[in-house]
């Protein structure tokens, strides 16, 4: 047991109670899910009982606690972290990196990117690079590149997005849901930053702009001007099933699917 855990045996209980209340689950409901008792859950939360390592993991699983925070729960209970966090450039991650690169290349000419838990860009393909090619150098020079900043910054993609208010609202709502699930201070700081960006007048707001011909989209698209054309994309996000590494658990692969025939035609005709 760690010294911190000995000095503060109720820390894991406080953390578990916070996750349970955030998930709006009663002690009885959690006990039934985790094959325990409401009395034992109460004792754990008040520090009267130290949970076993197995119970900590079961409770975390049923409370949908992110993998990084499961390690924090284990440490608070006096156990070693269960899940490693391997840098993506570690040699042991070679097969993963190669697979991700093949996936990105295989999706071309359509845009795709890989981000981490705070939307920092890990990798992109040529389809996305083409969309970002006209962004100012000072914005691209800020490292690490962040997908939310690049999209919503007044000098980023935002002025070219025809339905910016709708798309911005979608992205901010997505971040709010993730903050509620992950309780990430870094993600909240990013949210507060991008939510405070002024909303530039997009192409559709310009005086005298012709209204776009309505298209029956199957999901909310990002409609963006690019090189004299209007392109439409819907976003799909994929994550790994049953990850055993924090780094892998926090990766997300976002693909932008053309939402109309004109976008497909333009991208395919410019592939090369």
Question: What mean pLDDT value characterizes the chain?
Answer: 90
User: 99 pLDDT band (50/70/90 cuts)?
Assistant: very high
Which of these, 121, 111, 194, lies nearest to 158 by C-alpha position? 194
In the DSSP assignment, the letter for residue 183 is -
User: 90 pLDDT band (50/70/90 cuts)?
Assistant: very high
Residue 155: is its pLDDT beyond 80? yes
How, if at all, do strands 252-258 and 229-238 pair?
antiparallel
Percent of the chain with pLDDT over 70: 90
CA dist 269 and 231 (Å) reads 13
CATH architecture of the region 3-76 = Orthogonal Bundle (1.10)
Average of per-residue pLDDT across 66-87: 95
pLDDT digits (tens, 9 = 90+) for 41-50: 999 999 999 9
Average of per-residue pLDDT across 45-57: 95
Which of these, 75, 13, 12, lies nearest to 45 by C-alpha position? 13
User: Start-end ranges of CATH 1.10.260.40 in the chain?
Assistant: 3-76
pLDDT digits (tens, 9 = 90+) for 211-264: 445 556 678 999 999 999 999 999 999 999 999 999 999 999 999 999 999 999
Residue 103: is its pLDDT beyond 80? yes
Residue 74: is its pLDDT beyond 50? yes
Residue 4: is its pLDDT beyond 60? no
User: Start-end ranges of CATH 3.30.450.180 in the chain?
Assistant: 91-204+215-269
Residue 265: is its pLDDT beyond 60? yes
Which CA distances in Å does 226 have to 48, 130, 138, 197, 255?
62, 9, 20, 22, 18
CATH architecture of the region 91-204+215-269 = 2-Layer Sandwich (3.30)
Average of per-residue pLDDT across 171-197: 94
């Amino acid at each position: 047991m760690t010294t911190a855990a000995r000095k503060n045996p109720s820390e894991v209980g406080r953390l578990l109670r916070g996750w349970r209340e955030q998930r709006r689950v009663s002690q009885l409901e959690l006990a039934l899910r985790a094959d325990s008792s409401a009395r034992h859950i109460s004792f754990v939360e008040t520090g009267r009982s130290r949970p076993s390592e197995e119970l900590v993991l079961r409770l975390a699983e049923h409370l949908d606690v992110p993998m990084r925070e499961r390690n924090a729960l284990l440490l608070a209970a006096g156990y070693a972290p269960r899940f490693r966090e391997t840098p993506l450039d570690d040699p042991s991650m070679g097969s993963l990196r190669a697979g991700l690169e093949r996936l990105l290349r295989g999706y071309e000419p359509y845009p795709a990117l890989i981000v981490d838990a705070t939307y920092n860009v890990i990798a992109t393909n040529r389809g996305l690079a083409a969309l970002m090619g006209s962004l100012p150098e000072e914005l691209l020079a800020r490292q690490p590149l962040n997908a939310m900043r690049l999209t919503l910054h007044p000098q980023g993609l935002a002025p070219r997005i025809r339905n910016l208010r709708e798309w911005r609202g979608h992205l901010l709502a997505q971040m709010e849901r993730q903050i509620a699930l992950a309780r990430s201070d870094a993600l909240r700081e990013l949210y507060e930053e991008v939510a405070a960006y002024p909303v530039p007048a997009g192409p559709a707001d310009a005086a005298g702009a012709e209204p776009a011909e309505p298209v029956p989209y199957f999901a909310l698209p990002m409609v963006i001007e690019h090189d004299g054309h209007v392109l439409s994309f819907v976003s799909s996000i994929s994550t790994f099933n049953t990850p055993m590494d924090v780094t892998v658990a926090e990766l997300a692969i976002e693909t932008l699917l053309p939402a109309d025939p004109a976008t497909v035609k333009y991208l395919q005709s410019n592939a090369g």
